[in-house]
Chains A and B, each alone.
Chain A
Amino acid sequence: MSTTILGISSFYHDSAAALVRDGEIVAAAQEERFSRKKHDPRFPRHAINYCLEEAFIEADELDAIVFYDNPLLTWDRVVKNCVMAGEPAFEQFEKAAASILGIKLWVQDYARRTLGCLGRSGRVLFTDHHFAHAASAFYPSPFREAAILTLDGVGEWDTTAIGRGDDDGIELAQVIEYPHSLGLLYSAFTYFCGFKVNSGEYKLMGLAPYGRPVYERIIRDNLIDLKDDGSFRLNMEYFGYLDSFRMTNERFDALFGGPPRQPESRITRREMDLAMSVQAVLEDAVLRLARHARRESGAPNLVMAGGVALNCVANGKLLREGIFDHIWIQPASGDAGGALGAALMAAHGYFGSPRRMSPGGRDTLKGSYLGPAYSSAEVRAFLERHGYPYERIEDPDGRARTVAQALADGKVTGFLSGRMEFGPRALGARSIIGDPRSETMQSTMNLKIKYRESFRPFAPSCLAENAAEYFDLDVESPYMLLVAPVREERCIPFDREAFYNNEDMLQIINQARSDLPAITHVDFSARVQTVHPDDHPDYYRLIRAFREITGFGVIINTSFNVRGEPIVCSPADAYRCFMRTEMDLLVLEDCLLWKSNQPAFAEAGDWRKDYELD
């Protein structure tokens, strides 16, 4: 008898659904991709629909529906938080009551309405939040046994959990509890530097290399007490999240010389230095936590999940530190990954499905290509219906050559190929790609295509077997979760003092830093994706063709969206994004569309208003 489980995360941030059959991950997707509302927190009915579609089963064939969080414990935390904070917390309490008592508690009702039934068990199961994170990291990993480290803002009470996984399942032995949280600390600085909490953390990380850790001492002396064993506490006198809707308070402002940066205003040296400072503290904490996890678990390998595990700069340091022999990080480490974790946790922990290991020693996440694919017939149906001109190249090698040549000619290309990625990163299935050799490509792609801040560098995709030619990296990084140095001989040194005294970021950005300028950050690092032919043959083929043409087995890979827009899912989404931006070429499976051939794209209203800036 097979066991099929649907995992759900929702109501907080970035809802998602995942489906696991007999321990095998069949499907996973975020709701935002379907609803086209970034970080959509609503019940993921479209993502659920997709999961059932992929498995091609009826809802009443589900053995269980599992939610990734325990709303009773979350309510317990909210109540105790508000009691501790007293009268100023009333507004927060009122809001929390509406969302927890009014909505989150009734996940079973949502499931019944959406699916028309509750599957074979007739009820919804729940996992603890950090067990869901832990399961999402351990079960798909290539390790028979591993230490587990989960780090996030907060889930129920826990913000950090340390444990181990082995044949007997998952054990979480030690935790750090709310309000003491590395995720919330990092989010506080994200907010303070003028970025959005829960999505701007990535920008803060990207900003850090521009700065120096001049505030590190102040942070350590005032905001966080970090023990040698990695455990820590925050000093709540400086934070606002206990009793207000702000992450920081006036005392925090005083510590760092004034109020938070206004969103979208100019980024100053203070923000750059703050970003570097908090990054340094975070990295130190992660290293200490990892050493502790190594000692406690005795396991030679580490798996990680939770939003903080998306800090690939810290991950890269952790890897190079050599505390563990091997590290595996769940790419959907945020809330969305909780859906997958909940399903896996129930599969193994409740139904006793045996764990599936990959015989080849790789993970079982299928490259994280767990979302919907669109057949060539579907793509053509879409194009024919609208009369959009296209060229079909069925031969995969010929197609790869054509696209690679376009890249080499400086064309920016939207690339939709195969199943959509699960998690925040585009990995070649829904990517915008370009030539990393161009000095102006970073600015061009940022300003003309992504419509975003230009200080953020792009990530490179390279063939797994060639990674060491370009980067100091001797392991796979299939999920773009590791930052590695660009090889020294490729880098072009520049005057760092002048750099740190310069407030004009654009001037810095347009200065070549290596022979791969568009993907080399100002600290000569890169956020690398290594591409394995088993994971995505078409993407692999494309990079190989680019190497044959240019001698460089590296291309730029950035997510297929504009700022504030969810990554595209369907051919229609991709076409729309293509026409709204200055991309030159669109690849939809085996169909190629040139911008110069397309009819004028008329839209009612200003589409930019559809997307709230992230």
Chain B
Amino acid sequence: MSSIDGGKARARVKKLFFRKLLPLSDMARRGAAYFPMGADPSAATYYVARNATRMSRGDFEAPVCADENEFGKKLAALWERSGNPELAKCAPEMAACAGLLYAPEEIDDEVSPFIYVMF
């Protein structure tokens, strides 16, 4: 929807990808994959059982982020819980990117007091 404008943000995202994430790629390829890339003849089923089968009240409230700091903390906690400390380490850098990228579309109505929307 939006493209990254502003060289600063772009540079930071690039750095994040090449310096922090790409090094994890080899590890992921060497076996610690984040998800399977194809069939597994030995598997009886491909269904994944959900840990929590219902949404708790807390689940509704958990994802809200007031600012990038909160986002960074929640992201790190998520990855600590899921056993991805290597990603949790990247969370602060991602939060910084979020701060730079923050770009909700402007809602601009030119309001003229004497021109009415009509007909």
Contacts and interface: CB of A to CB of B under 8 A. Distances in A.
B49 A173 contact: yes
Interface in A89-138: 90, 93-95, 97-99, 101-103, 105-106, 108-110, 113-114, 123-128, 131
B101 A102 contact: yes
Interface string A8-23: 0001000000000000
B114 interface: no
A162 interface: yes
B45 A231 contact: yes
A55 B105 CA distance: 27
Contact of B60 (A87, A99, A349): A349
B101 A123 contact: no
Contact of A106 (B24, B82, B102): B102
Interface in B24-50: 24-25, 28-29, 33-40, 44-50
Given A45-B107, A110-B104, A128-B59, A102 B4 contact: yes
A229 B103 contact: no
Contacts of A171: 53-54
Interface stretch (A74-82, A254-262, A437-445): A74-82
Interface residues of A, number: 76
Interface in A331-381: 345-346, 349-350
Interface string B52-80: 01110101111111100001001100110
B28 to A, nearest CB: 5
Nearest to B4: A98
Contact of B38 (A83, A128, A234): A234
> A102, A180, A234: which has the most chain B beta carbons within 10 Å?
A102
Contacts of A72: 62-63, 65, 71, 74-75, 78
Nearest to A41: B1
Contacts of B18: 90
Contacts of B24: 83
B24 to A, nearest CB: 5
B63 A169 contact: no
Nearest to A99: B1
Contacts of B48: 174-177
Given A83-B34, A108-B64, A125-B61, A232 B105 contact: no
A66 interface: yes
Nearest to A160: B47
A491 interface: no
By size class, the interface of chain B is 35 or more
B37 A236 contact: yes
B33 A84 contact: yes
Contacts of B35: 80, 84, 177-179
Given A179-B35, A231-B46, A87 B101 contact: no
A235 interface: yes
A285 to B, nearest CB: 11
Nearest to B27: A83
A175 B50 CA distance: 7
Contact of A103 (B2, B25, B62, B63): B2
Contacts of B116: none
Contacts of B98: 101-102, 105
Contacts of B45: 227, 229, 231
A90 B40 contact: no
Given A97-B13, A236-B38, A70 B46 contact: no
A170 interface: yes
B68 to A, nearest CB: 8
B60 A66 contact: yes
A552 B34 CA distance: 58
Contacts of A236: 37-38
B3 A95 contact: yes
Contacts of B1: 11, 41-42, 98-99, 103
B75 A233 contact: no
Interface in A253-303: none
Contacts of B104: 43, 103, 106, 109-110, 113
Contacts of A232: 46
A175 B52 CA distance: 12
B2 A102 contact: yes
A225 B5 CA distance: 42
A163 interface: yes
A234 B17 CA distance: 26
Nearest to B86: A83
A476 to B, nearest CB: 31
Contact of B21 (A82, A179, A350): A82
Contacts of B101: 97-98, 101-102
A609 interface: no
A215 to B, nearest CB: 19
A174 B44 CA distance: 14
A398 interface: no
Given A95-B3, A126-B63, A169 B17 contact: no
Contacts of A82: 17, 21
B28 A173 contact: no
A517 B104 CA distance: 50
B81 to A, nearest CB: 11
Interface of A: 11, 41-43, 45, 66, 70-73, 75-76, 79-87, 90, 93-95, 97-99, 101-103, 105-106, 108-110, 113-114, 123-128, 131, 162-163, 169-180, 225, 227, 229, 231-237, 345-346, 349-350, 382, 385-386
Which 5 residue pairs are nearest across A and B when measured between Cβ atoms? A102-B101, A225-B39, A231-B46, A80-B34, A101-B98
24 contacts: A41-B1, A45-B107, A76-B75, A76-B79, A82-B21, A83-B28, A84-B25, A87-B22, A93-B21, A101-B101, A102-B98, A105-B65, A110-B105, A126-B62, A127-B55, A131-B55, A172-B54, A174-B50, A176-B46, A225-B38, A229-B47, A234-B38, A235-B37, A236-B38
Interface of B: 1-4, 10, 13-14, 16-18, 21-22, 24-25, 28-29, 33-40, 44-50, 53-55, 57, 59-66, 71, 74-75, 78-79, 82, 87, 90, 94, 97-98, 101-105, 107, 119
Given A79-B87, A87-B25, 12 more contacts: A76-B78, A103-B104, A106-B102, A114-B107, A126-B61, A163-B53, A172-B54, A174-B50, A178-B35, A225-B38, A233-B39, A235-B38
